[in-house]
């Protein structure tokens, strides 16, 4: 008696490879193989399936780690090694010119002079002191409206209630300190004595 085609051993063996896991079910239902052979084939297929799943799942997890981890490390390490450019000094200097009494206040005039070879655009802060106190008794910041060319200067003034030594004695203003900045960077600083020249315009 001729076997049905779906009970053919060759077809069942081919289906185990080509149509897994349907072929496995086909083997158990339609084949006339001994039970030991069926168990052996099933065990081998399960082992191959576990090995394939294990090796296939572990490979993708390691690959991104190797390629992506070095990149942020090199960027972070290279940035701190950059050395900032040194701030170029400018020979911009301040001198006291004269003190004038205007109404009830004292007006201290200063000359901001560009003694450098380059134009100056920035700001100058002037602080007024006496010999009795460490904190300034007056201050102001002057910003250039246009560039000061080499050899030229600007005249500025600060109004405060305290007069010079000739008016207020030992409590009078005796000296000044100044700081010159360009784009927020200090390019020069210094100090000097208040001029002895005095003029009373309040009379």
Domain of 143, in residue numbers: 92-200
Q: What is the pTM of this model?
A: 0.58
Place 62 in a pLDDT band, splitting at 50, 70 and 90.
Answer: very low
Q: What is the dihedral of CA 5, 6, 7, 13, to 10 degrees?
A: 110
Domain count, the chain: 2
Say if residue 122 is in the same domain as residue 195. yes
pLDDT of residue 78: 61
pLDDT tens sequence across 19-36: 667 777 767 776 767 878
pLDDT tens sequence across 76-104: 556 666 776 778 899 999 999 999 999 88
Per-residue pLDDT for 18 more than 80?
A: no
Provide the residue count of the chain: 203
Taking a C-beta distance cutoff of 8 angstroms, is the pair 9, 29 a contact?
A: no
User: Of 25, 50, 81, at which residue does a domain stop?
Assistant: 81
Taking a C-beta distance cutoff of 8 angstroms, is the pair 173, 165 a contact?
A: yes
């Amino acid at each position: 008696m001729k076997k049905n085609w779906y009970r053919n051993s060759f077809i069942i063996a081919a289906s185990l490879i080509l149509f897994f896991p349907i072929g496995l079910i086909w083997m158990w239902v339609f084949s006339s193989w001994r039970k030991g052979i069926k168990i052996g084939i099933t065990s081998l297929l399960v082992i191959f399936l576990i090995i394939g799943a294990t090796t296939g799942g572990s490979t993708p997890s390691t690959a991104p780690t190797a390629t992506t981890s070095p990149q942020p490390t090199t960027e972070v390490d290279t940035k701190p090694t950059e050395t900032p450019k040194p701030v170029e000094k400018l020979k911009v200097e301040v001198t006291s010119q004269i003190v004038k009494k205007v109404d009830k206040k004292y007006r201290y005039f200063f000359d901001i002079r560009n003694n450098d070879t380059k134009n100056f655009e920035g700001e100058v802060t002037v602080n007024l002191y006496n010999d009795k106190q460490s904190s300034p008794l007056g201050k102001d910041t002057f910003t250039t409206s246009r560039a000061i060319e080499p050899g030229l200067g600007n005249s500025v003034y600060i109004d405060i209630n305290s007069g010079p030594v000739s008016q207020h004695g030992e409590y009078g203003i005796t000296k000044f300190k100044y700081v010159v900045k360009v784009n927020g960077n200090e390019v020069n600083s210094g100090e000097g004595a208040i001029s002895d020249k005095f003029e009373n315009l309040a009379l």
